[in-house]
C-alpha cells in the first residue's frame, strides 16, 4: 500500500459505492471511510491520510467547515470535495481553502473522475 484516502460522507450507501469503485481505480491504496466531520476529526488524531475526499452536505458539519477545521489543525492531507452541490460560493470557498472540487453524480464515471483528482492532488 503506497497511499491512503479517507472518504467522508454521511450516506453509508454512498460510502460503500465510492469506496468499492475507488478500490478498483486505486488498487494499491488503502481506502478508508467515515460518516461525518466529527468522526473524521477523531480519526485524524491517530492516523494520517494522503488524501481526504469530503462530501459537502452532511449533518452537524458541512464539508467546507470540515476542510476549514482541517486547515486550522495544519492537516497535511490533500483535500478533495466530492459533491453534487457546486455553487459559485462553494467553489470560491473551496479554492480559498485549497480544496479540489469534483462533481458527484453517483456514477462510476464520477468516481473515476474522483480517483483522477486524488492522483492529481498528490502530483501538485
Q: Which domain holds residue 119?
A: 4-123
Q: Full-prediction pTM beyond 0.85?
A: yes
Write the CATH number for 8: 3.40.50.2300
Question: pLDDT truncated to tens, each residue of the chain (124 aa)?
Answer: 689 999 999 999 999 999 999 999 999 999 999 999 999 999 999 889 999 999 999 999 999 999 999 999 999 999 999 988 889 999 999 999 999 999 998 888 999 898 999 888 888 7
DSSP string covering the chain? ---EEEEE-S-HHHHHHHHHHHHHHSTTSEEEEESSHHHHHHHTTT---SEEEE-S--SSS-HHHHHHHHHHTT--SEEEEEES---HHHHHHHHHTTEEEEE--SSHHHHHHHHHHHHHHHH-
Number of domains comprising the chain: 1
Amino acid at each position: 500500500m503506497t497511499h491512503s484516502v479517507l472518504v467522508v460522507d454521511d450516506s453509508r450507501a454512498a460510502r460503500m459505492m465510492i469506496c468499492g469503485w475507488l478500490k478498483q481505480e486505486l488498487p494499491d491504496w488503502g481506502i478508508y471511510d467515515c460518516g461525518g466531520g466529527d468522526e473524521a476529526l477523531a480519526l485524524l488524531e491517530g492516523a494520517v491520510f494522503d488524501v481526504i475526499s469530503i462530501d459537502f452536505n452532511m449533518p452537524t458539519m458541512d464539508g467546507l467547515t470540515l476542510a476549514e477545521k482541517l486547515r486550522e489543525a495544519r492537516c497535511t492531507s490533500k483535500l478533495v470535495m466530492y459533491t453534487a452541490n457546486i455553487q459559485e460560493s462553494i467553489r470560491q470557498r473551496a479554492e480559498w481553502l485549497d480544496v479540489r472540487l469534483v462533481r458527484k453524480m453517483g456514477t462510476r464515471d464520477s468516481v473515476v473522475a474522483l480517483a483522477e483528482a486524488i492522483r492529481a492532488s498528490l502530483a501538485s
